[in-house]
Amino acid sequence: MRVIAAIAAVAALGLVACTEAEVDQAGADVEAAASDAGEAIGEAAHETGEAVEGAVNDAATAVEHATDDNPATTP
C-alpha cells in the first residue's frame, strides 16, 4: 500500500512540475505578445503622426495658395 501511495505522490509531483513549466511558458508567451503589441502600437502611432503631419502641411499649403494676392505665384 505504501508503494502505491509513493507512486501516486510522485505522479502528483510530476503533474505539478508540468503545470509549473506550462505556466512559465504561458507567462513567456504573454510577455512576448505584449512586447509585440507595444511595438505595433508604437509603429501605428508613428505612421499616424506622419499622416497627420502630411495633412497639416497640405492644408497649410492650400491656405497659403488661397490667400496669396499675387496671381503669378498662385497655381
Higher pLDDT, 56 or 6: 56
Residue 62 cell numbers, joined: 492650400
Mean pLDDT of 9-15: 63
**Cα 18 to Cα 42: distance, rounded to the nearest angstrom:** 36
CA distances in angstroms from 7 to 15, 16, 17, listed in the order given: 12, 14, 15
In single-letter form, the type of residue at position 45 comes to A
Residue 58 in 3-state DSSP?
helix
Higher pLDDT, 18 or 35: 35
0.85 surpassed by pTM: no
Q: Is the pLDDT of residue 9 over 80?
A: no
Residue 70 cell numbers, joined: 499675387
Residues 50-64: tens digit of each pLDDT: 999 999 999 999 888
